[in-house]
Amino acid sequence: MSSLNLDDFTDLIERPDGGVRRDAEARRERRIVPPGSLGRLDDLGEWLAAAQGTAVVRPVGQPRVVLFAGDHGIAGLDVSARPAGSAHELVRGVLEGARPVAVLARRLGVPVRVVDMALDCDPDTLPAAVVRHRVRRGSGRIDIEDALTAQEAEAAFLAGVAVADEEADAGTDLVVLGDISVGGTTAAGVLVAALCGTDASVVTGRGGLAIDDLAWMRKCAAIRDALRRARPVLGDQLKLLATVGGADLTAMTGFLLQSAVRKMPVILDGVVTAACALVGQRIAFRAPDWWLAGHDSGEPGQAKALDRMALEPLLTHGVKVGEGAGGLLALPLVQSAAALAAELPEREPAGEAGEGGDAPGGADADGAAQKQDA
């Protein structure tokens, strides 16, 4: 029997401040540029104001990329273009600065944190800071067995909560959330299909390396089989994650919910983070108000999940590499929205612009009239 009560998040999570958002909207109406001329940047600025609790938006000064890593047993069915159990190679690439997210983060000056939850490698081969939250070595093959035990699921969820608290306590003011996994998109597809009540084929994409038709068919069959195991536990979200999720997805769900509790905004990356967010919405319906969809990766499962949460992607570049790269591309847009909302001056009130000037009826006109009278 788990001691973790997910229902508590419904009470703990508040929506961003609606009164502050109305004040921010009023400020927008007074700015020197016409309302609506900045498009979604206006909406982003007001969202940030509400999230920060201040009508005058503060800069996003301490963003961070947080990546949860894990291997999935389902990858052994050749549903991924990468070999099963090879996610640790991607992690090393990120740590060495050789992956797309590392290059982008270096360019933008954003630190990257990797959290190993279930990599299939010896923990001694990675830095201690990376592996200290690990729950197990690889997650179970979800078409025939549970991804995690109940105890492992609770430990993974609480690890995600702990990481969110660590980031909030360190002053992180916005997180780009991503995953480093092999087989993760298959688990994500199962969660999205189960929570949206759709068939496997509707949510099955081709992943970051564009698997061929045969691999797509194997992936679709794996999601179909895992979906049969997911449907009976739909009423218990932690059990759902234990059955067909995995340690990394379970931790991301905990991270997302606790970030909302701590009022720390999150940019979602691809289909894996979207699936975790969908589980989070089922647990606490107000939580998605704290999240942004960074981009549209083109994965059908992501589109389905975002539509269910009414989240519209900020960018559409078709970036499928994962690892938070697509979500990180949206960060400058959010930072730009914050700067515009905070720094654009307001229009002067009507009637003040002519004071002291040469307009008819001003001081110069009065002086000329006095000379004529003399």
According to DSSP H, which parts of the chain are helical? 8-12, 18-30, 40-52, 87-95, 100-108, 128-131, 150-169, 184-196, 200-203, 213-230, 237-244, 247-261, 271-283, 300-309, 325-329, 331-343, 363-373
Tell me, yes or no, if 312 is annotated catalytic.
Answer: no
* Active-site residue identified among 166, 312, 323, 348: 323
Do residues 136 and 118 make contact, with C-beta atoms less than 8 angstroms apart?
A: yes
Do residues 240 and 147 make contact, with C-beta atoms less than 8 angstroms apart?
A: no
Do residues 166 and 257 make contact, with C-beta atoms less than 8 angstroms apart?
A: no
Sign for the pseudo-dihedral over CA of 300, 306, 311, 314: negative
Residue closest to 316 by CA, chosen among 49, 36, 40: 40
Cα 339 to chain centroid, rounded: 21
Token representation of residue 366: 């009065």
Query: What is the set of active-site residues?
Result: 323
